[in-house]
Amino acid sequence: MTYTQIQKHLSNLGISDSEHGTAFGSSFISEKTTLSSFSPVDGNQIGTISCTSSESYDQIIQKAQEAHIQWRTIPAPKRGDIVREFGMALREKKQDLGILVAYEMGKSLQEGLGEVQEMIDICDFAVGLSRQLHGFTMHSERPQHRMYEQYHPLGIVGIISAFNFPVAVWAWNTALAWICGNVTIWKPSEKTPLCALACQKIIAQVLDNNNLPKAISCLLTGGAELGKLLANDTRVALVSATGSTRMGKSVATSVAARLGKSLLELGGNNAMIITPHANLQLALTGLVFGAVGTAGQRCTTTRRIIVHESILDDVVHKLTLAYQQLKIGSPLNEKNHMGPLIDTEAANHYISTLTEAKKQGATPIVEGKILTGKGYESRCYVSPAIYVAKNEFPIVQTETFAPLLYIIPYSGDVDNAIAIQNNVPQGLSSSIMSENLRETELFLSALGSDCGIANVNIGTSGAEIGGAFGGEKETGGGRESGSDAWKAYMRRQTNTINYSTELPLAQGIKFNI
């Protein structure tokens, strides 16, 4: 795809070369510092957007506060109508936005379009949910009293998202936040600012068509300092942060210091257990996609496979053959299985990790490298690696955001495999490949996987929006997207109504005056 074609898609999304500034609704505040976006696909600069200053940050917060006063008074089903219109607008822009996601981030076109579909799906989910924001009624111990719980909007929800899902994770958060009556301020990754700007353009038009304040949805563009402003700002009721564990710890510390609320979806060190009772062809398909999809840059990427020693040689042989068939190149070419890493820094870090893994004792089965030559001019393309390692190696205990897969043999019963899987600091996604009922049920029991996501006979990567998404331990404990994740975006209130002519106290306490 040529640069001219990319610019056409940008134009269809309402982004022009001459448009610079900090996005606030559909208007812009002129700034001096700019942020350029480069595509890892070919190394070309896509565009430039101005960064948010501390002065304009305060303006945006003030406008968001004003917008919330109006937005929270609109009935939730009516707020759902706005989210429905946003979902319809995304359907119209799906091709343009999906191509931009693929080009600016580097994931395959199918994954880029799939990410926009996730946005559409969460909008559909949120529309239905807007009529189901239920509370609870319980019996009071006092006669002629009624007691119940209800939920109210928080106010401003700050969203910090990562480059690997430049639009979907924002939508998971913001669609739910909006139907709950909150306004949102989004700090996207500085590596994918144009994807964020495109989303802001789409929702700004929807808000404008309905004569609603554009500050219901705000955008901050720039570096980590803006995330720190959100984390430390007492006016921001909830900060939802998706990214590395290191970043999440910083956000959690700052938000906790002011007794605010945080929702954290952080790093993963996800394992697939393959037992002697596995369907190996099924396992291989899920494994290869989980390990190399998005070039290993998913928080749910399969980073470890824990294989029973009796089938180790067979798994290694089949996996090696599968890796030899992988096609690496432009993600806009649907024949390719794997695109680039996000930038040259990520590629160099990948190579240094491979070197360190060998120093610690890991044995290469398939060696990874930076690819050069025609089609690889950006120097962001790498070949995936497979190393045999021990789970206790320090390098295995950390998350490498690249296509590096560790093979860890186990012996004995599946209990040993589960113990290996759980023996890492992270707890996001997990998977077992087995057709043995006892093994799979044990894996899903309280004695099994300690992760927020536990799959049977599917891979670690790829989640539906209907289920709550997130993990335990250093993954942060937060839940986004489906199920009852909406409760994180609201404050709970317990109400007691006395409709008697007396004032009885709880626990039978007597107080006479």
Please report which confidence band the pLDDT of residue 133 belongs to, taking 50, 70 and 90 as the band edges: very high
pLDDT confidence bin for 131, thresholds 50/70/90 = very high
CA distance 244 to 231: 15
pLDDT at residue 65 greater than cutoff 50:
yes
Q: Each residue of 151-190: pLDDT tens digit? A: 999 999 999 999 999 999 999 999 999 999 999 999 999 9
The answer to whether 115 is a known catalytic residue is no
- Which of 199, 299, 380, 451 is catalytic? The answer is 299
pLDDT at 17: 58
As given in the structure block, the two tokens for residue 190 are 């500085």
Name residue 137's amino acid.
T
Residue 347 or 23, more confident: 347
Q: Which of 85, 118, 265, 399 is catalytic?
A: 265
Give residue 59's pLDDT band: very low, low, confident or very high (50, 70, 90).
very high
**49-266+476-493 topology per CATH:** Aldehyde Dehydrogenase; Chain A, domain 1 (3.40.605)
C-alpha angle with apex 123: 69 to 67, nearest 5 degrees? 15
pLDDT band for 436, please (50, 70, 90 cuts): very high
Extract the tokens encoding 193.
């600012």
- Distance in angstroms (rounded) separating the CA atoms of residues 94 and 134: 32
**3-state SS assignment for residue 411:** coil
Q: Got the DSSP string for 438-454?
A: HHHHHHHSTTS--SSEE
pLDDT at 21: 41
- The per-residue pLDDT for 18 is 47
Q: What percent of the chain has a predicted confidence (pLDDT) above 70?
A: 97
Pick the CATH number of 270-463 from 3.40.309.10, 1.10.357.10, 3.30.565.10, 1.10.8.60: 3.40.309.10
- 35: closest CA among 43, 46, 24? 46
Mean pLDDT of 421-434: 98
Q: In Å, what is the CA distance from 350 to each residue of 172, 266, 293, 375?
A: 29, 19, 16, 20
Tell me if residue 451 is catalytic. no
Q: What is d(CA 85, CA 161) in angstroms, rounded to the nearest whole number?
A: 23
CA 77 to chain centre: 26
pLDDT at site 132: 96
pLDDT score of 26 more than 50: no
The per-residue pLDDT for 32 is: 61
pLDDT value at 4 more than 90: no
The answer to whether 329 and 381 have CB atoms below 8 angstroms apart is yes
Question: pLDDT-derived band of residue 28, with 50, 70 and 90 as boundaries?
Answer: very low
Q: In this model, does residue 248 exceed pLDDT 90? A: yes
Q: Is residue 33 predicted with pLDDT exceeding 80?
A: yes
Residues 90 and 200 sit within 8 Å (Cβ to Cβ)? no
Structure-block tokens of residue 33: 């510092």
- Minimum mean pLDDT range among 27-36, 143-152, 203-212, 421-430: 27-36
* Distance from C-alpha of 343 to C-alpha of 352, rounded to nearest angstrom: 15
pLDDT at 322 over 50: yes
b (16+ CB within 10 A) / e for 407-441? bbbbeeebeebbebbbebebbbbbbbbbeeeebbe
Map out the domains of the chain as residue ranges. 49-266+476-493, 270-463
Alpha carbon of residue 130 to chain centroid = 22
Q: Is the pLDDT of residue 40 over 80?
A: yes
Q: Do the two domains 49-266+476-493 and 270-463 of this chain adopt the same fold?
A: no
* Nearest to 501, CA basis, from 128, 142, 222: 142
